[in-house]
Amino acid sequence: MTFFNSLEVNSGAFYSMGITNSDQEKFDRVLQQVGDAIGYVCIDVANGYTEAFVRFVEQFRQAHPQLTIMAGNVVTGEMTEELILSGADIVKVGIGPGSVCTTRSMTGVGYPQLSAVIECADAAHGLDGRICSDGGCVVPGDIAKAFGGGADFVMLGGMLAGHDECAGDVVERDGQRYKRFYGMSSRIAMEKYAGGVADYRAAEGKEALVELHGPAANTVQEILGGVRSACTYVGARTLKEFTKRATFVRVGARANELFDRE
């Protein structure tokens, strides 16, 4: 809560939360302090396929009709439709594709990210909803393909890690400086924020050391340049038009390699 007190915020602030009672209580306290500063809320769980999650989204929408709600994560059209009908404006798509996520190797559960984006975007847009592709982008071309598959937003983690603006401890090894980057389901994250890994489960994330990259502006410029060039290649004037111009062709056994790097 001190984070909001230390900044001049406006209705563009995005608040991320879980679905526990303590998450709800914390959000209520923050909302009392900052008033209308929060315009967007991300209701974020690892597994969006539970009745409790859907009920929470529905109740949250009823309590806060003025907010833009993003909810996830899911990977199928049916669940995308369910969340939008329950009150979500944006559905966050992706299970297991992130570079520091180990869900697929630990549980055997996952879904090819590009396939998920295409399927969920089709379902969401039919109900005038939106989707956010979450995880798996390594190069600017991956972001362009996500937009081409129908994503309205793309979330980045690893591509923006290690920059001057990023939080994280700086580590020196063999004369090289790195920043720690870890998934929120990793052991280090749960020990830091949740009191440790519960006895009944295993960590589904890992820690990585990322080379320092300097200011984020250079990487952002590369991303913007790549996406702009992709638009010119497919003849799209805007990102909204991009998905109407892009097509995908299967070229081999690893054709769906996008976002599926283990």
Q: How many CB atoms lie within 10 A of CB 212?
A: 15
C-alpha closest to that of 64 among 29, 90, 28: 28
Quote the CA–CA distance of 35 and 68 in Å, as a whole number.
15
Buried b (16+ CB within 10 A) or exposed e, 117-156: bbbbbebbbeeebbbbbbbbbeebebbbbbbbbbbbbbbb
3-state SS assignment for residue 210: strand
Choosing from 42, 101, 132, 137, the catalytic residue is 101
The dihedrals phi and psi of 207, each to the nearest 5 degrees, come to -105, 140
Is 101 considered catalytic here? Answer: yes
Quote the CA–CA distance of 56 and 46 in Å, as a whole number.
14
The dihedrals phi and psi of 179, each to the nearest 5 degrees, come to -120, 145
C-alpha closest to that of 40 among 55, 20, 19, 60: 60
Quote the CA–CA distance of 111 and 101 in Å, as a whole number.
13
First-to-final CA distance of the chain: 36
**Residues marked as catalytic:** 101
